[in-house]
Amino acid sequence: MIYNKIIKLSALFVILFNLLIINPVYSVQSTGISHDEVFIDYSKLNAAVIRNEADLFFYKAQESITPAEKDSYYDIAMAKYYLLTKIDNSQIFPFVQLARIYDYKKKDRYAKEYFYRAKNMSVNDSYANYYFGDFYFKRNDYKRALRYYIIAYNNGYNNRYDLNYQLGTIYEKLADLINAKRFYEISYSLNPNSEELKEKILLINELNYDKSEYYHFIRE
């Protein structure tokens, strides 16, 4: 019962968010006062509570199976992360989360805008750079992905299995087999049960690897 009420209240907030933020025609800027000043005193909001709620809906979206449910949860999370940027615009995390949601929604321009805003606050931030790299990796833009992944790697993310695996994949795509092997081996040390990684490393070690069917398949 309580959870249903939270969903309904959050849905109402999303509607207001869409009207005031996405459709500025509904704002009262013509009076010389922004809609933010009229409707919300951000200093009175509890950032910790809002972040917990935003994270809850974000993870629910990630776990959702149906697109409609996923979209609904992401929209609620987006509205709450947006509030966090208004409460304190020096925090990197909510800007990255907004970028990740826009990434999911395939709204690349908005995603990149929020990633750049996060990076402008701290150019070497590992969280922002990792997900910015992920943005380009999913779009097969491996050189740009590599640029951001390396920054994340050099700033505390060097022990992440997924990052090492993706770096190995990028270097393999770029035909740099020395670095590909290096990162695959690190990944394998973090996940020694992976038969796929074991096979990749063995294939790279073979003298005729560059002529193999697997090599031409992975490059496509």
Place of tokens 């992905």: 145
Asked if residue 208 is part of any domain, the answer here is yes
Asked if residue 207 is part of any domain, the answer here is yes
Token pair for 164: 């090492």
Asked if residue 215 is part of any domain, the answer here is yes
pTM, to two decimals: 0.78
> Which residue has better confidence, 19 or 114?
114
Q: Is the pLDDT of residue 29 over 50?
A: no
Asked if residue 164 is part of any domain, the answer here is yes
Cα–Cα distance between 181 and 208 in angstroms, integer? Answer: 15
Asked if residue 169 is part of any domain, the answer here is yes
Burial class (CB in 10 A: 0-12, 13-18, 19+), 120: exposed
- What is the count of structural domains for the chain? 1
Cα–Cα distance between 14 and 34 in angstroms, integer? Answer: 19
Asked if residue 171 is part of any domain, the answer here is yes
pLDDT band of residue 39 (cuts 50, 70, 90) is low
Which residue range forms the structural domain that includes residue 168?
159-220
> Which residue has better confidence, 182 or 3?
182
Asked if residue 174 is part of any domain, the answer here is yes
Collect all residues with Cβ–Cβ distance below 8 Å to 92 and sequence separation of at least 6: 118, 121, 122, 125, 127, 128
Asked if residue 213 is part of any domain, the answer here is yes
